[in-house]
């Protein structure tokens, strides 16, 4: 390969394709040039990308090709990158109290149990079905396999489960096939597969992870071939055609309003694609240009945007599903840029101000929550997915103006407390998918369809950030309550399973060990009981699947 290898990675030959970064550069440039609108693109559900007659002809293709032939291949200096980190990846492990260590070891045992059962019954499938002891493939990943492997890599590494990490790496080397043909969620493939592979590369320097990430990133690019550059939500990984607005490559979700793209989906690409750019030496998309131009109702960002016109399709605003990680990626983009991306910081500050003004409410019982906004009418519910926001606001508070810091830390603590209450008020001490603040009910699910728990991480994610930023011992105590509840209600003979009703002490299991349980829930719980220098926030930013990506302290072109 053209890249320097870490000493660990040099022990055995890796066969990364040197052509992959160059092909990626070429396709990224093509994607960046798409500007003119297609001839006929009518909005509609599951809309095909069309536009026959007027294809934008790249004017500068030949000179670019010539430049590529003469320019030296881009090289990322991995050793220099590792030297730039402020802390060792796994920390310095100073003396600590025995109870904290014992709790961390318990979470490590849970991870080993989850991985060992996946390996035994479902290796190569996307997820383990622990009750029936078989694998589940699903239809989110377009024929890609091994979602649990890719999601687990960095957690296994951080927990020093060396043998298990080598098993996972071997599967990636020998069995991870990217030549698939199927409909994939751009968002899910990006956060799980691209995020997981990038994190594994940055943590270990193993070439195989980098080359797979670049090759898969290239397959996602046709989703950006739209008049605005805002990608559609679904992409066929098997049909590669880079012509502008090519037919059949990507489309919008059938349930998304009027062929629109979803805020949390197209807004949750920036961290990963920035790193694809870093590793391939090529600039990537700019979704923000469209978002800055379009008018925000009351400063809020609705959940649905047309990839054809660049306008909002309907005014539903949510910090939970459909909107959540867009806001998270604004503050994290700024942090990842070593606090240089002032545009992202301003967008985050403005969005948070609008959220606080219009959506943050306090219940009669004194609980602070973030409501949803539907065309000006508030829906007084909060989804489990929105519980990441306590951690996000705390992360942003650290870097707010001096006179606003304490205000935002208090807001973060109040929201995290509300999410803890949603756990504490259930019989299992696990939280429901959504909880409401109406008809005298507070922080509880009132609908049967919202009473389930699928091993989600957002609440413990906020505990981890709140612990790191305040060191208030209650966050570790709350995290330990979750560990005990998971062991009691979700651990089964062959893995961990979600439950269908958190309000009964004899819950029915859903027979699914989600890949994000290994990527996120167990990682955040483990880090909650680690010293602060393990995956230090000075060096790492977590993507929305908890995959650590490095803060860009400098430019690592070799």
Q: Which residues are annotated as a binding site for Ca(2+)?
A: 544
Write out the H or E segment, with its range, that includes residue 436. Answer: strand 434-438
> Which residue among the candidates 349, 458, 510, 520 is catalytic per the annotation?
458
Is there a catalytic annotation at residue 433? yes
Phi/psi at 425 (5° precision): -85, 5
DSSP secondary structure string for all residues of 62-82: HHHHHHHHHSPPP-B-HHHHH
d(CA 90, CA 77): 21
- The single residue listed with the structure tokens 């810091």 is 405
Residue 435 CB: number of other CB atoms within 10 A?
30
d(CA 356, CA 367): 15
> Which residue among the candidates 265, 324, 461, 531 is catalytic per the annotation?
324
Q: Is the dihedral of CA 46, 228, 33, 72 positive or negative?
A: negative
DSSP type of residue 472 = -
d(CA 105, CA 327): 33
Count how many Cα atoms sit within 13 Å of the Cα of residue 394 in the half-sphere of its side chain: 24
- The single residue listed with the structure tokens 């960095």 is 154
Q: How far is CA 317 from CA 107, 313, 545, in A?
A: 36, 12, 22
Q: How far is CA 262 from CA 301, 316, 350, in A?
A: 11, 11, 20
> Which residue among the candidates 154, 433, 442, 533 is catalytic per the annotation?
433
- The single residue listed with the structure tokens 């109290």 is 97
Record the tokens describing residue 248, joined without a space: 């059949």
Q: Is the dihedral of CA 421, 493, 527, 167 positive or negative?
A: negative
By CB atoms closer than 10 A (0-12, 13-18, 19+), residue 470 is: middle
Q: Could you tell me if 279 and 214 are in contact, meaning their C-beta atoms sit under 8 angstroms apart?
A: yes
Q: Could you tell me if 358 and 373 are in contact, meaning their C-beta atoms sit under 8 angstroms apart?
A: yes
By CB atoms closer than 10 A (0-12, 13-18, 19+), residue 201 is: buried
The residues, ordered by sequence, that sit 6+ positions from 235 with a Cβ below 8 Å of its Cβ are 142, 183, 184, 186, 189, 219, 220, 222, 223, 249, 250
Is there a catalytic annotation at residue 458? yes
By CB atoms closer than 10 A (0-12, 13-18, 19+), residue 403 is: exposed
Record the tokens describing residue 541, joined without a space: 């930013």
Residues that constitute the known binding site: 544
> Which residue among the candidates 127, 151, 154, 188 is catalytic per the annotation?
188
- Which is it for strands 183-185 and 234-236: parallel, antiparallel or unpaired? antiparallel
Residues marked as catalytic: 188, 324, 433, 458
């Amino acid at each position: 390969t053209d890249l320097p290898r870490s000493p660990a990675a040099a022990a055995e030959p890796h066969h990364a394709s040197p052509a992959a970064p160059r092909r990626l550069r070429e396709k990224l440039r093509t994607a960046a040039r798409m500007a003119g609108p297609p001839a006929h693109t009518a909005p509609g559900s599951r809309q095909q990308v069309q536009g026959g007659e007027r294809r934008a002809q790249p004017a500068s293709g030949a000179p670019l090709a010539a430049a590529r032939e003469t320019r030296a291949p881009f090289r990322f200096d991995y050793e220099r990158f590792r030297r730039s980190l402020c802390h060792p990846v796994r920390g310095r492990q100073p003396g600590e109290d025995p109870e904290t260590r014992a709790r961390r070891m318990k979470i490590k045992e849970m991870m080993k149990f989850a991985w060992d059962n996946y390996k035994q019954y479902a290796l190569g499938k996307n997820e383990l079905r622990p009750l029936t002891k078989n694998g589940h493939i699903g239809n989110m990943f377009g024929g890609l396999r091994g979602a649990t492997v890719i999601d687990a890599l960095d957690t296994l590494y951080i927990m020093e489960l060396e043998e298990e990490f080598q098993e996972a790496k071997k599967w990636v080397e020998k069995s991870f096939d990217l030549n698939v043909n199927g409909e994939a969620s751009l968002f899910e493939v990006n956060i799980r597969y691209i995020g997981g592979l990038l994190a594994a590369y940055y943590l270990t320097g193993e070439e195989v992870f980098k080359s797979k990430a670049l090759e898969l990133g290239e397959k996602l690019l046709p989703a950006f071939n739209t008049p605005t550059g805002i990608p559609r939500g679904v992409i066929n990984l098997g049909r590669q055609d880079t012509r502008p607005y090519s037919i059949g490559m990507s489309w919008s979700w059938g349930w998304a309003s009027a062929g629109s793209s979803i805020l949390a989906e197209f807004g949750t690409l920036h961290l990963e694609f920035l790193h694809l750019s870093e590793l391939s030496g090529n600039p990537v998309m700019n979704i923000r240009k469209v978002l800055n131009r379009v008018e925000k109702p009351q400063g809020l960002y609705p959940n649905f945007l047309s990839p054809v016109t660049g306008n909002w399709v309907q005014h539903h605003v949510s910090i939970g599903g459909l909107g959540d990680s867009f806001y998270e990626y604004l503050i994290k983009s700024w942090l990842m840029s070593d606090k240089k991306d002032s545009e992202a910081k301003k967008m985050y500050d403005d969005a948070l101000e609008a959220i606080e003004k219009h959506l943050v409410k306090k219940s009669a019982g004194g609980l602070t929550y973030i409501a949803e906004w539907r065309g000006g009418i508030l829906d007084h519910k909060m989804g489990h997915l929105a519980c990441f926001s306590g951690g996000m606001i705390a992360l942003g508070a650290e870097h707010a103006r001096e006179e606003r810091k304490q205000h935002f830390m208090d807001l973060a603590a109040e929201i995290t407390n509300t999410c803890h209450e949603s756990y504490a008020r259930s019989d299992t001490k696990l939280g429901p998918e959504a909880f409401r603040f109406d008809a005298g009910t507070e922080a509880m699910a009132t609908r049967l369809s919202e009473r389930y728990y699928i091993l989600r991480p957002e609440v413990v994610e906020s505990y981890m950030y709140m612990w790191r930023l305040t060191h208030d011992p209650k966050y570790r105590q709350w995290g330990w309550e979750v560990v005990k509840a998971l062991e009691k209600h979700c651990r089964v003979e062959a893995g961990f399973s979600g439950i269908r009703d958190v309000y009964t002490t004899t819950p029915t299991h859903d027979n699914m060990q989600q890949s994000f349980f290994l990527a996120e829930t167990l990682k955040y719980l483990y880090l909650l009981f680690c010293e602060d220098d393990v995956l230090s926030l000075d060096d790492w930013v977590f993507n929305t699947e908890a995959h650590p990506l490095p803060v860009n302290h400098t430019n690592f072109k070799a």
